[in-house]
Amino acid sequence: MCSQSDPSPPVPFRRGVFSFHEKGATVKRPRLIDLSQEIFEGAPVFSGHPETKIRVADTFEQTRLRYEEGYGYVTETIDMSTHGTTHVDSISHIDPSPGASTIDRIPLEWFYTEAVCLDISGSPARTYFTVPMIEAALLKDDLDIRPGDTVLINSGHYERRWGTPAWLTDYPGLTREAAEFIFGKGAVNIGQDAPSIDCVLTRSFPAHQVCREMQRINTENLADLRPITGRRFIFCAFPLKIRGGSGSPVRAVAFIEEE
């Protein structure tokens, strides 16, 4: 535990990646880049999902009446889909088998991984990412996919269409073969800056089908990925511990080791 004379907050580290937080040591801190969308009333939701509603549950004016010396507080109630805004899907979201892993049972290590972000930002609306496109993006930025990785895809969708009606109607996504290629390299999680990792046009969700078949996860509705596109970094996006949940909102963050 930190003593009063040591005000440094704990530093996230991973053996061999970040410096240890030792007394007297100079701690090298990663730069944190927020990859998450905000949760707010009226946030865009996937077709058919419930709207996000936020209401004030307690106000300072009300709660001050219950306490002394002017103490009061404010709280809110949030009513939203477990697949609202930036979120991760559990296996049980798409796998009806009795033992399919719910969000509270997926190893924490899957939400704190090394990661790469592929630049497929030139892709047109409502198209599919193929294996050659994934390979070209890896080659362009001299990246590879390693076992345990998260693979993020900058499709250019957030950059071009966030805040417009086209956000929900024009996104591209992975072909079955492209999802199999990425998970086949040992990746545990695929994320995209769009409402789904599957193209808006599909009615069979091939990338989600591959998640079910290969027992892997995906992260959707990421925000602006430009700051980490073409790089390797640490990706952290922990779900809430929702008992039996099929998914959860996450705070997705990239940790970048500064030069």
> Of 26-34, 143-151, 153-161, 243-251, which segment contacts Zn ion by CB under 5 A?
243-251
Buried b (16+ CB within 10 A) or exposed e, 202-221: beebbbbbbbbeeebbbbbb
- Closer Cβ to Zn ion, 19 or 209, answer by number: 209
CB 215 within 8 A of CB 97: no
Build a one-symbol-per-residue string for 99-138: x at contacts with Zn ion by CB under 5 A, - elsewhere. ----------------------------------------
> Of 115-123, 168-176, 178-186, 242-250, which segment contacts Zn ion by CB under 5 A?
242-250
CB 171 within 8 A of CB 241: no
Q: How far apart are CA 237 and CA 23, in angstroms?
A: 28
Q: How far apart are CA 15 and CA 234, in angstroms?
A: 12
- Closer Cβ to Zn ion, 191 or 247, answer by number: 247
Q: Does 89 bind Zn ion (CB under 5 A)?
A: yes
Q: Does 95 bind Zn ion (CB under 5 A)?
A: no
Q: Looking at beta carbons, which residue is closest to Zn ion?
A: 83
Angle made by CA atoms 148, 39, 207, in degrees to the nearest 5: 40
- Closer Cβ to Zn ion, 50 or 132, answer by number: 50
Q: Does 198 bind Zn ion (CB under 5 A)?
A: no
Q: How far apart are CA 43 and CA 45, in angstroms?
A: 6
Residues 6+ apart with CB under 8 A from 18: 11, 12, 28, 30, 255, 257
Q: How far apart are CA 9 and CA 152, in angstroms?
A: 29
> Residues 44, 83, 91, 154: which binds Zn ion (CB under 5 A)?
83
Q: How far apart are CA 218 and CA 178, in angstroms?
A: 14
- How many residues bind Zn ion (CB under 5 A)? The answer is 3
CB 250 within 8 A of CB 88: yes
Which uninterrupted H or E stretch holds 230?
none
> Of 5-13, 18-26, 57-65, 89-97, which segment contacts Zn ion by CB under 5 A?
89-97
Tokens 């899907």, residue located: 89
Build a one-symbol-per-residue string for 132-171: x at contacts with Zn ion by CB under 5 A, - elsewhere. ----------------------------------------
> Of 77-85, 107-115, 123-131, 157-165, which segment contacts Zn ion by CB under 5 A?
77-85
> Of 97-105, 151-159, 209-217, 244-252, which segment contacts Zn ion by CB under 5 A?
244-252
Query: Which residues contact Zn ion (rule: CB under 5 A)?
Result: 83, 89, 247
